[in-house]
Structure 1
Amino acid sequence: MNREIVVSGALDLLDEVGLDTVSTRRLAKRLGVEQPSLYWYFRTKKDLLAAMAEAAMAPHAAAPLPTPGDDWRDWFLDNTRSFRRTLLMRRDGARLHAGSTPANDLDRIRRKMDFLVASGVPERDAQMAMLAAGRFTVGSVLEEQADAGPGDGSELPADMPVIDHESAFEAGLALILDGLVHRTATRADGPVQGP
């Protein structure tokens, strides 16, 4: 047994039982070991959850970084969509990720920010747009993963339009990008009042 096997087993357990039911006791039983042996790899459950969150983000972390010839607007959309797809790959993926710190991804984040700034996006706006898009994505996926779907006993008013999760996500993402494009163009033309 090694750290990777423990994390992989924990992610499989997450997909099977959900975040609220993941425990070191259940994980030890699943791996066929005594519970105290898990503490050799992870001192606390919080440490285990952090490692699980990092491993769950591997598909997004492996996505290609932007190159100087890329259109920053297209890249911004693709990057945010990749983040959403990755969160949706795991049961309770957004809850697992929420509040985690991307300690091993800081270099990639810096390179993404450098790309936006080199593309003409003011640095502070690039930072805030990446933060807003990330939080919007986590919130959207939280809602999607919590949605019980039809037959959950609740009825929407007849005059309320039903919007699927992907359409709602795309509409919100477009609003974030449109705001960033506007601010970038306005700042290129002269100073902007406000934050």
Structure 2
Amino acid sequence: MAKLNRDTVIAEALDLLDEVGLDAVSTRQLAKRLGVEQPSLYYHFRNKEELLAAMAEAAMAPHSTAPLPTPADDWRDWFLENTRSFRRTLLMRRDGARLHAGTRPGAADLDRLVHKMAFLIASGLPERDAQLAMLTASRFTVGAVLEEQAEAGAEAEPAANTPRIDPESAFEEGLTLILDGLARRGERA
């Protein structure tokens, strides 16, 4: 095997996540996959929590590298696409929402967030509303994907007489409710 480096460990850990799910990811299994002794992982990560944080950051790369809004963008269209991009990224990995939940943005992500907030404020939204809209959309998305991924992993069929809800349609309707509320507040401001 090639020299073990941080990126290799993270990539292999994400592959392991996709295969076995978050609850079954262990440093012992990861070391075995990499063909190394478990203590060698601690050269790159002090503990499992640090490894999971690095995995979460790497798993968010598709969303973290999406184009930032420009002054020419319509804030509503951008807000919808930004939130959809976040959802798509969480869905790319088994247990992606669970892996992401509770993480804090790194320095590069904070810079991107500042840019996004400045864009919303420049578009006429009050600063507090822009902050709460970004937070609400993020938490709504994580919650929606948590439920979607839990249902996908559940072996039991839904109870009789319980209508099946299409997760994408439900997400889009909830997102529209958030956007409509934000637009109304922006109009009043």
Query: What range is the shorter-chain TM-score in?
Result: over 0.9
Quote the residue 2:176 is aligned against.
Answer: 174
1:34-66 alpha-carbon deviations (Å, 9 max, x no partner): 000000000010000000000000000110000
1:55-114 alpha-carbon deviations (Å, 9 max, x no partner): 000000110000000000000000000000000000000000000011130000000000
Q: CA RMSD in A?
A: 1.3
* Letter matched to residue 69 of structure 1: A
In 2, the alpha carbon distance for the partners of 1:83 and 1:150 equals 23
Quote the residue 1:99 is aligned against.
Answer: 102
> TM-score, normalised to structure 1's length?
0.92
1:155 CA drift (Å): 1.4
Residue 30 in structure 1 maps to residue 30 in structure 2: no
* Letter matched to residue 187 of structure 2: A
Quote the residue 2:43 is aligned against.
Answer: 40
In 2, the alpha carbon distance for the partners of 1:156 and 1:133 equals 32
Match of 2:89 among 82, 86, 89: 86
- Unmatched 5+ residue regions in structure 1? 188-195
1:161 CA drift (Å): 4.0
Structure 1 pair 141–75 and aligned structure 2 pair: CA distance change class (3 A): same
In 2, the alpha carbon distance for the partners of 1:5 and 1:149 equals 27
Identity over aligned residues, as a percent? Answer: 72
> TM-score, normalised to structure 2's length?
0.95
Match of 1:18 among 18, 21, 30: 21
SS in 1 for 2:43: coil
In 2, the alpha carbon distance for the partners of 1:25 and 1:150 equals 26
In 2, the alpha carbon distance for the partners of 1:121 and 1:50 equals 32
Match of 1:140 among 136, 139, 144: 144
Structure 1 pair 15–115 and aligned structure 2 pair: CA distance change class (3 A): same
Quote the residue 2:129 is aligned against.
Answer: 125
In 1, the alpha carbon distance for the partners of 2:47 and 2:155 equals 39
* Letter matched to residue 84 of structure 1: R
In 1, the alpha carbon distance for the partners of 2:164 and 2:17 equals 30
Structure 1 pair 45–178 and aligned structure 2 pair: CA distance change class (3 A): same
1:153 CA drift (Å): 3.6
1:154 CA drift (Å): 3.2
1:149 CA drift (Å): 7.5
* Letter matched to residue 14 of structure 2: L
In 2, the alpha carbon distance for the partners of 1:144 and 1:80 equals 16
Match of 1:61 among 64, 72, 90: 64
In 2, the alpha carbon distance for the partners of 1:100 and 1:28 equals 24
SS in 2 for 1:39: helix
